[in-house]
Structures are given as C-alpha cells and as structure tokens.
Amino acid sequence: MTASNPPRDESPTAHLDSTAHIMNRISSQLASQLSLVSLDGRRRPEPPALVVVAHGSRDPRALSTVRALLDKVRDLRPGLPVHLGHIELNEPLLPDTLAALGGREAVLVPLLLSRGYHIKRDIPEMAAESEVHARVAGALGPHPLLVEALYARLVEAGWRTRMDDPTRRRSAVVLAAAGSRDPESKVDTSRTAQLLADRLGVPVVPAYATTAAPTVPDALRALAARGRTRVAVASYFTAPGRFATECAQAAPWIASAPLGTHPAMAKLLLHRYDQMLSTPNTVTEPVLASA
C-alpha cells in the first residue's frame, strides 16, 4: 500500500515562519478595520458574524487545520468577523463562542459534509439557547467545490489525470466518509460520490468508517471482485483524525489527504454564509435563559 505524502503543517504557528504571511495577515487586518469606516468617517455596521462550527477531535492536527482554514476565510473576506465554535472535544465550544457574541446577528456554518443529527438538532438547539440572532446553514455537501477539493487531493496523492482504457477499467475510488445513522447523510455522500465519478470517469463507491455500511474494507473487496484492483481511497474528512487515518491505512494503492485547507473549502464556507444572508425567514430568535 502506498499512502499519500503527509500534508504540510499549515497551522498558524508554522505560518509565522513566513514574513510574507505575516505581512499579508497585517494587511488583511488593516483592511478589515478600514472596511468598517465609510468615506464620511462614520462607522459602518458590521456584517453578521460567520461562526464556523466544527465537530471537534482529540487529534491536535484537527484543531490546527481548522484554525488555518479560518485564516484562509479571513483572507478571502477582509472585514468579515469569523469565529470558531466546536460541538464537542475542543475549545472554544459553540455555546461559549455564541455567548461571547452577545445579542449580535450571526450565520452558523457547520464544517460538516452531510446532513445528520448535529446539523438537524445539536447546532440549532445551541443557537436557540443563546442570545445570538442566528441563521443556521446546512451541510457543506454535496457541492461541486467539494468535488474540486477531492479531485485535487487525489491528484496530489498520485492519481493520474490521464490513463489508457485498460487502466481505467481496473481503476476505481472509495469515498471514505465518517458515517451516520441518518439516512439523509448517506444520500448526501452518495451524491458527492456520483459527482466525483463524473469528474474522474471511473466508479466511486461511498463507504464509511463507522455506523453506516459498507465499510471501507468491504467496499474495497467488492470492487476487487469486479476486477477493480487499482483503487484509491478519497478521504472525505475535513481534517486529520482517527477515522481518516484508519481509512487511509486500508487503501490498497493510494489514499488522499483530508480536505483540510484546500482553497475550495474556504470558498464553500463563504458560499454557505452568503446563501443564508440571501434566504429570508431564516433567523432563529434567541431563547433567553431565566435569571
């Protein structure tokens, strides 16, 4: 088995080694402040905050990856207040992030790839229990920008963009996702797999690290039985972690890195934010806790 090259450390600490990055961050922060002042010197109202809601992970690489991704979002949209909140395991937890925002307006964009319990219940309930006037976006996927990121990660891992017909007939991809008991989650992942198959021109089979079926090893065996022996595992995870590592280790050929800080991910977060601002009647009124 050949695995993909480990991703470069894109944490904020690593970026501090780059003078160019430091200057870019200073310029972005200055532009952010200037964007709040109109030509007549009066302060413009701030746009609704973007709160990116990550799941949380015990793997420290996940937190550094998410923070670096949020830096890319800030670079793309100077002047937009961007915050991070976690559902569990990492700080800041989402309720703490929302409490710090007070009664402001915010758009919560889950850093989650498909529908499931967290999007349908956990995040809306946390938003409703805060004082924030919140709009809660749906899952990131399915979306062509996710396919762009998946394709790029596969190419980085060694997927050939051109292949002859015999090679193509032996090739396939397993789209390795986390898994959920929610049937709509499988619908979303299957749709992403189809979009990726259309892009690659080979079969793409969705498989799961936990909870749902088929598992990644089962999907690989099924493909081998069909003569698909040149199979890549596409990591359908937002950041490194246990599930992503286990799925990559099962790959018989190559395994791509998680989506991480690919530019398409930052663009998609902003796209979901903009979608919510253009959608009427999506504000969740706060439920104030009793004194």
Q: Which residues belong to the active site?
A: 55
Residue-wise DSSP of 38-103: -TTSPBPPPPPEEEEEE---SSHHHHHHHHHHHHHHHHHSTT--EEEEESSSSSSBHHHHHHHHTT
Give the pairing type, strands 133-136 and 105-110: parallel
- Contact partners, residue 222, CB within 8 Å, separation at least 6: 205, 214
Q: How many CA atoms lie within 13 A of 19 on its CB side?
A: 0
Question: Both tokens of residue 63?
Answer: 């937190």
Strand ranges of the sheet holding 204-208, from the earlier edge strand across to the other edge? 204-208, 171-177, 230-235
- DSSP class of 215: B
What is the rounded (10 degree) CA torsion for 135, 268, 202, 256?
Answer: -110
Where do we find the tokens 């229990």?
129
- DSSP class of 257: P
- Contact partners, residue 271, CB within 8 Å, separation at least 6: 143, 145
- Contact partners, residue 164, CB within 8 Å, separation at least 6: none
Helix 183-200 to helix 144-157 angle (10° resolution) is 60
Question: Both tokens of residue 219?
Answer: 């999907």
d(CA 242, CA 240): 7
